[in-house]
Structure 1
Amino acid sequence: MNDRTPAPATPAAAPPLLSVEHLTVRYQLGRGLTGRPTLLTAVRDVSFTIGAGRTLGLVGESGSGKSSIGRAILRLAPVSEGRIVFDGQDTAAFGRRTPPSFNRDVQVVFQDPLSSLNPRQTIAVTLGQALTRHRRLTAVERNREIAGSLDRVGLSGYHAQRYPHELSGGQRQRVAIARALATRPRLIVCDEPVSALDVSTQSQVINLLKELQRDLGVSYLFIAHDLEVVRHMSDEIGVLYLGRLAESGPAEQVYRTPTHPYTQTLLASTLLADPERQRARSARRRELATDAELPSPLAPPPGCAFHPRCPRADDLCRTEQPELLQLTGTASLAACHHAEPVRVAAP
């Protein structure tokens, strides 16, 4: 077992743009036979920060709580415990009504642009509404901004008069990005923005998002289930399992030397174009594989939630929830009693 110590205090630096502190999100699913409410805890005591112009990637399987965190930041899901601080202000102080300034500064790009874009509106109308809602523009200025927004995301001006169904999936996602950028936001929540696209288009959209970040200084919370995709997009990575952070740290370090068995399993499950490296990764996946299925978030296992699927689990793992702590010699944090860095071959 590695020598493990609590994470050192962060040195004095510019305050983060976004700070999520001990966030817990619960949903009421109904009432049981006794009349007591049935609660689903989707997010459990999660903390992280995002600096200005930086990207945090959240990765994990379906049901890990990734989207619930994004929705809580957007004030679309309840904050049951903890708090979310944006630009120094606790969002709980907003009350029921979200101020226009927050809606302007924090935008979202959803997974499926076809369902998030109004099918009865042209792209010009969609972008125009986003512009006029938060910015006072004349008709001439609005049209100029629409053309500029489309050009910024790599679309020609004639796309403005098209409807969503007349565009490809990649083009629709570019429109969704243009709409998010129309308000000149400081943070964009990207909720699985490339998972519905083919590999070639995924690469184009990721490169576009990175280019826009360099040009505009916008920050991203990038949510995905593919560790390869998140690694290419992010400065830091948080790995979620059943609502808890299993591991977090600098993107390249989490990718190249994952410390938590779950992170190692996620990495071993991704596909590579190189046959030799893919064979090695497949062999690693077989080493880590177990017959256990993903537990229900309604009844998570005691102790470490990953222990039913972990080949290294012991009695300590089955009874005691591990803390998210830093391992000696690494900048990553891991919630594992037996976390050990595993070197991954360079691509």
Structure 2
Amino acid sequence: MNRPARDAAPLLSVENLTVRYQLGRGLTGRARTLTAVRDVGFTIGGGRTLGLVGESGSGKSSIGRAVLRLAPVTGGRIVFDGQDTAAFGRRTPLSFHRDVQVVFQDPMSSLNPRQTIATTIAQAVTRHRRLSAAERDREVLGALDRVGLSGYHRDRYPHELSGGQRQRVAIARALAPRPRLIVCDEPVSALDVSTQSQVVNLLMELQRELGVSYLFIAHDLEIVRHISDEIGVLHHGRLVESGPADQVYRHPSDPYTKALLASTLVANPVRQAARTARRRASAGTGIAPGGGL
């Protein structure tokens, strides 16, 4: 997309981030730890998108959870709008929850199956703003319209919607508090190809309309390149390559990035044959990812 930054200062700065999980004690009685993220740094400007891409276990979701204050920050720091989030202490302020929202991979598990769509969106609105019943209803209908759903969807339950419609509801819920940053954690990986494209295009349209920033986490470099201004490539918890989206996509410098790109399926049979050949050539290096990215 390569748009000029809208804000001079970054909205989000991740500096030398390390995330380490405690796994308990093993058979020897020693405490075990898993370092999921190692010394990672990046910034996201206002109205911009950073795409984090890597195979399963690369640490990308742990970074998203750390930004959301759902994973431990063992080292480094996360600065949102000029404030170190570590200063919040144990209790995250409501203003941060308003400004930083999330869209998860599986909306069926993140939406309350016992609540109508209207109730789900209304709760996200009224948690942060005092509204009359009429104002709340207008907000719900406006949110549904913004993501391409109709007013009659308001009385439906999640199981009555398709996967793509449920993800649109999840996006509407994330937008309801009027956030400045949304962490999109594999938001299209559970959808079919045509619906993936629709949802990605919707996110891009909403960004142009609202100026919201995205941390977009995915395993598919083709999708990440389409939506992102900048791309960061993660491998074993480390950021092995980063830069403008087109540069990383067209001229990757790290062998792992090249392997990721070669493993991406494309519709053009000539390009796909070339990628398959490159993937086979890199298989001997031990870096070519498998099919379950």
TM-score normalised by the shorter chain: which range applies? Answer: over 0.9
Q: Confirm or deny that 1:169 pairs with 2:152.
A: no
Give 4+ residue runs of structure 1 displaced > 6 Å after superposition. Answer: none
Q: Confirm or deny that 1:83 pairs with 2:77.
A: yes
| Residue in structure 1 matched with residue 267 of structure 2 by the alignment | 273
| Residue in structure 1 matched with residue 226 of structure 2 by the alignment | 232
| Residue in structure 2 matched with residue 52 of structure 1 by the alignment | 46
Q: 1:82 and 1:33 mapped to 2: Cα distance?
A: 31
| Residue in structure 2 matched with residue 73 of structure 1 by the alignment | 67
Q: Confirm or deny that 1:196 pairs with 2:196.
A: no
Q: 1:35 Cα deviation (Å)?
A: 2.5
Q: 1:235 and 1:256 mapped to 2: Cα distance?
A: 14
Q: 1:244 Cα deviation (Å)?
A: 0.1
**Structure of greater Rg:** 1
The equivalences for 1:282-321 within 5 A come to 282-290=276-284, 292=286, 309=287
What letter corresponds to residue 61 of structure 2 in structure 1?
Answer: S
Structure 1's unaligned 5+ residue stretches are: 1-12, 293-308, 311-347
The equivalences for 1:320-339 within 5 A come to none
Give the SS at the match of 2:196: helix
Give the SS at the match of 2:76: strand
Deviations 1:182-222 (A, max 9, x none): 00000000000000000100000000000000000000000
What letter corresponds to residue 249 of structure 2 in structure 1?
Answer: Y
Q: Confirm or deny that 1:123 pairs with 2:123.
A: no
| Residue in structure 1 matched with residue 247 of structure 2 by the alignment | 253
Q: 2:91 aligns with which of 97, 100, 103?
A: 97
Q: 1:37 Cα deviation (Å)?
A: 1.1
Give TM-score scaled by structure 2 length. Answer: 0.95
Q: Confirm or deny that 1:114 pairs with 2:108.
A: yes
Identity, in percent, stands at 81
Give TM-score scaled by structure 1 length. Answer: 0.80
Deviations 1:131-182 (A, max 9, x none): 1101111100000000000000000000000000000000000000000000
Q: Which has the higher helix share?
A: 2
| Residue in structure 1 matched with residue 291 of structure 2 by the alignment | none
Q: 1:105 and 1:238 mapped to 2: Cα distance?
A: 23
Q: 1:33 and 1:148 mapped to 2: Cα distance?
A: 56
Q: Confirm or deny that 1:187 pairs with 2:181.
A: yes
Deviations 1:31-70 (A, max 9, x none): 1234321000000000000000000000000000000000
Structure 2's unaligned 5+ residue stretches are: 1-6, 289-293
Q: 2:273 and 2:242 mapped to 1: Cα distance?
A: 27
What letter corresponds to residue 178 of structure 2 in structure 1?
Answer: R
- Size of the alignment, in residue pairs? 282
Q: 2:212 aligns with which of 204, 215, 218?
A: 218
Q: 1:84 and 1:35 mapped to 2: Cα distance?
A: 33
| Residue in structure 2 matched with residue 4 of structure 1 by the alignment | none
Deviations 1:92-114 (A, max 9, x none): 00000000000000000000000
- Root-mean-square deviation (CA, aligned residues, Å) is 1.0
Q: 1:291 Cα deviation (Å)?
A: 7.3
